[in-house]
Amino acid sequence: MGNKDHLHKYKLKNLGSDGKLYLVYFCTLPNCTNYIRADLIYGKEVICNRCDRPYIHKNWEGRYVVHPHCLDCTKKSDKVKKHDADLDDIFKVLEVK
């Protein structure tokens, strides 16, 4: 067991229905059912979806990333071509209250 001790590896999901937006990050690790409101991820230590290393997630100018990853991986992806999936990964949230 010991699932409570790990750092979570999150993925963004919209739980809202009827066109409403209710974004949460849920943990993708096996046997873990943890999830948090999307805006609560900022400042949390989480696992990078690309390099699997822990990092502190920072506010991305009001954007939520579907697969949160660390700054190092972000920089790398900036050099990758435009069709890199990372661009689709960025979920623009207009007004979340």
Q: Would you tell me which residues interact with Zn ion (CB under 5 A)?
A: 8, 27, 29, 32, 34, 48, 50-51, 69-70, 73
| Shortest separation between residue 75's beta carbon and Zn ion, angstroms | 10
Residue with Cβ nearer Zn ion (3 or 59): 3
> Could you tell me if 86 and 60 are in contact, meaning their C-beta atoms sit under 8 angstroms apart?
no
| Shortest separation between residue 89's beta carbon and Zn ion, angstroms | 13
Place of tokens 């690790």: 29
Residue with Cβ nearer Zn ion (23 or 29): 29
| Shortest separation between residue 87's beta carbon and Zn ion, angstroms | 17
Residue with Cβ nearer Zn ion (39 or 74): 74
Please tell me the distance from the alpha carbon of residue 51 to that of residue 64, in angstroms, as a whole number.
Answer: 19
Output the six-digit token pair for 30.
Answer: 């096996």
> Could you tell me if 29 and 51 are in contact, meaning their C-beta atoms sit under 8 angstroms apart?
no
Q: How far apart, in Å, do the first and last CA atoms of the chain sit?
A: 36
